[in-house]
Structure 1
Amino acid sequence: MSRDLSLRKLRYFMAVAKSGRVTQAAIDLNVSQSSITTGVKEIEEQVGVALFRRTSRGMTLTREGSRFLQRVNYAFQALDDAFDGLQDSHPTLKGTLRLAMTYTVAGYYMPPLLAQFQRRYPWVKVELYEVSRPEIEEGLTSGEFDLAILLTSNIEHHQWLEKLTLTQSRRRLWVNGQHELLKRDHITLQDIAHYPYIMLTVDEADQSALKYWKPEGISPNILFRTSSVEAVRSMVANGTGVTILSDMVYRPWSLDGKRIEHIELNNPIPPMELGLSWPRNRPLSPAAKAFCELAQGFSI
């Protein structure tokens, strides 16, 4: 079997895996839909397995596709490491960066970004803090933290803080792999209001959810509240309930190997926004500036 998998085709595969739609992947990469479709098909022919399940709602990763995506991510990380190793480090940049983050950032976004920063700026001492959004806002204004990376869509004290959104992550409905809602072409919040709902509470996810439920004049039928993403994932996968969460924390399989599907809703659900924040009345340190510059070119 040929192993000639170009980086271009692998990027097509990653874009479809991220968005779940060929049309969106084509927009994200600024190429034609036919290029995306052909590239993904050629990869599947070369590896000899189906990487996606095609449905009327889009494309979702198979178990083999999820494993392949994990390995492709490792490969691109290795490429980043190789290029970083050839670039000059910045021994003249020293000091301390006091960097705060919230739970979601720490678990689903920060690790590869932090590793890249540490490789590039080995003489900067990074002090890390995982705290809540209110604690971050207070710490930035008091000078306890130099910089924070958090859900910028949750920031309250805009008058005191600068913010720079780095990425947006769509929120979609999560159901188990045999759920009856998968048979429908159009689903609204009204359609799911009577189903048991598993409400994630960490990073103010419950408050964010009510912001798009309330305008519809309805409320979710909350069965269970939890701060654990894995608890939500397992309960949805086992058919205990449904939820709406961002693609950033979505994984197609629970820890016990059961399938989770995510579905686009017809209601206008705002995306989760993640980015940087720092105090307006205090200039960024050189280390903080370097982190901001690196973060703006970073993607997962």
Structure 2
Amino acid sequence: MNEPAFTLVQLRYFEAAARHLSMTAASNELVVSQSAVSTAIAQLEKEMGVQFLLRHHARGLSLTTAGEAFYKRVLDFLAHGAELVETARQSGAELVGTLTVGCFATLAPFRLPGLLAEFEARHPQVQLSLREGEHHALKSALRSGETELALLYGYDLDDDIDREVVGTVPPYVIVGEDHRLAQRKSREVSLQDLADEPMVLLDLPHSRDYLRSILSDAGVEPRVRHRTSGFETVRAFVARGHGFALLNQRPEFETTYSGARAVALTLTDDVRPLEIVVASMRGVRLTRRAQEFRELCRGLYAR
């Protein structure tokens, strides 16, 4: 049986068309004619004996089931094809190329600056591209190949996503500096102490459920007074006396943007810390750039 004869050009043209779901957009990106893209993909489909794209008049393209599966494989193939070229050119020397990493929004300001500085110092020829977002969006970016790695909290990760725990962060409480609980010398508080207190909730998908579950597991029904998706907005509301909040990432300073302080209190309850993980797609071999970034995460988080 003869193996299919396809070209890298055909794969690149297919990848661009599948990513944009548009021949026009693909041709603009590739700086070739639309007919060249269409012909290359038609030849690829003919050679494979499978239809990957459905053409809709005036409505662009859509992927068939076979096309979706093939697209994921093509992303992996092209990434490692590029790495093969780099390896040949560099002969084991400096890493070069592009690495795209995702990071959960509330993790980014605490974890990314140090990681980026260290990674760029070690591998100055690698262009590091970042995507910041919430949990669901980053999982989608991993599946589509838009990001090779993502730094996430270790909850709600499906079986098709590999994860490696690189750190843990326990939850803690913040209250305004004039709050009665802020006057304690021990700077400690139990969840029962919060039973009658209004709450300012960090209202992000999954985060809100996790934070509320901390209270409900201790028999405390949260009285949510305000919700916001902004980490610093939560701190600012709390600092101005609108309630308490539960958070995981702890800023170095208690002063908020408004100038008021959000006082951090340690929980005396035995609450399981939240895991921080480096996630990637299961079954997809990471490039050397991604492997080096993951190794850096291990080292920095272990400190």
Could you state the TM-score of these two structures normalised by the residue count of structure 1? 0.63
Deviates more, 1:100-109 or 1:283-292: 100-109
Distance (whole Å) between structure 2 residues aligned to residue 260 and residue 105 of structure 1 = 19
Which secondary structure state, in structure 2, belongs to the residue aligned with residue 295 of structure 1? Answer: helix
Which residue of structure 2 lines up, in the alignment, with residue 197 of structure 1? 199
1:58 aligns to what?
A: none
Task: Tell me, yes or no, if structure 1 residue 94 matches structure 2 residue 96.
Answer: yes
CA distance in 1, matches of 2:162, 2:226: 35
Shift of 1:242: 0.8
- How far the C-alpha of 1:249 sits from its partner, in A, is 4.1
Structure 1 pair 251–165 and aligned structure 2 pair: CA distance change class (3 A): farther
* Distance in 1 between residues matched to 2:121 and 2:268, nearest whole Å: 43
Letter in 1 for 2:156: I
Report the CA distance shift for 1:212/1:116 in structure 2 as closer, same or farther (over 3 A): same
CA apart distance, 1:246 = 1.6
1:104 is matched with 106
Aligned match of 2:276: 274
Distance across 1 between alignment mates of 2:107 and 2:146: 19
Taking only the aligned residue pairs, the percentage that are identical comes to 28
Partner residue of 1:288 out of 285, 290, 294: 290
**Equivalent residue letter for 1:246:** N
Deviations 1:32-66 (A, max 9, x none): xxxxxxxxxxxxxxxxxxxxxxxxxxxxxxxxxxx
Cα separation, 2, equivalents of 1:105 and 1:270: 18
Corresponding residue of 1:155? 156
Question: What is the CA-CA distance between 1:121 and the residue it aligns to?
Answer: 0.9
Asked if structure 1 preserves the Cα contact closer than 8 Å seen for 2:172 and 2:246, the reply is yes
Quote the Cα distance in structure 2 between the aligned partners of 1:105 and 1:235.
20
Q: Could you tell me how far apart the structure 1 residues matched to 2:283 and 2:268 are? A: 42
Q: 1:121 to 1:160 in 2, by over 3 A?
A: same
Query: 1:149 corresponds to which letter in structure 2?
Result: L
Equivalenced residue count is 209
Q: How does 1:17-36 map to 2 (within 5 A)?
A: none
Cα shift readout 1:97-120 (whole Å, capped 9, x = no counterpart): 121111112222101211221221
Cα deviation for residue 182 of structure 1 reads 3.8
- Deviation digits for residues 221-267 of structure 1, max 9, x if unmatched? 11100011222112211222111112434631122332332222233
Measured in 1, the distance between the counterparts of 2:121 and 2:93 equals: 11
Letter in 2 for 1:296: R
Larger radius of gyration: 2
Q: Distance in 2 between matches of 1:293 and 1:98?
A: 15
The 5 Å alignment of 1:40-55 reads none
Gaps in structure 2 of 5+ consecutive residues: 1-91
Task: Spell out, residue by residue over 1:180-212, the C-alpha distance to the aligned partner (whole angstroms, 9 max, x if none).
Answer: 124567743232122111101236321111222
Q: Which residue of 1 aligns with 2:177?
A: 177
For the residues of structure 1 that align with 2:215 and 2:276, how far apart are their CA atoms? 21
Task: Output one character per residue of 1:11-30: Cα deviation in whole Å (capped at 9) or x when no partner.
Answer: xxxxxxxxxxxxxxxxxxxx
8 A contact 1:104–1:203 mirrored in 2: no
Q: Is contact 2:191-2:269 (8 Å) kept? A: yes
Q: 1:182 to 1:253 in 2, by over 3 A?
A: same
Instruction: Specify the SS of the correspondent of 2:140.
Output: helix
Q: Comparing 114-123 with 242-251, which one deviates more in the overlay?
A: 242-251
Q: Whole-Å Cα distance in 1 between the matches of residues 126 and 248 of structure 2?
A: 33
Q: Is the 8 A contact 1:93 1:121 kept in 2?
A: yes
Counterparts of 2:253 and 2:234, CA distance in 1: 11
**Partner secondary structure for residue 117 of structure 2:** helix
1:209 aligns with 2:223: no
Q: Secondary structure at the match of 2:267?
A: coil
Residue in structure 1 matching 2:146, options 141, 144, 150? 144
In structure 1, list runs of 5 or more residues that go unmatched: 1-89
Matched residue, 1:231: 233
Check conservation: 2:176, 2:239, Cα contact below 8 A.
yes
Match of 2:60 in 1: none
Question: Could you say which residue in structure 2 is the equivalent of 1:51?
Answer: none
**Residue matched to 2:221:** 219
Inter-CA distance 250–214: structure 2 relative to 1 (3 Å threshold): farther
Pairwise CA RMSD: 2.3
- Rounded to whole Å, the distance in 2 between the matches of 1:250 and 1:213 is 25
The residue aligned with 1:122 is: 124
TM-score (norm 2): 0.63
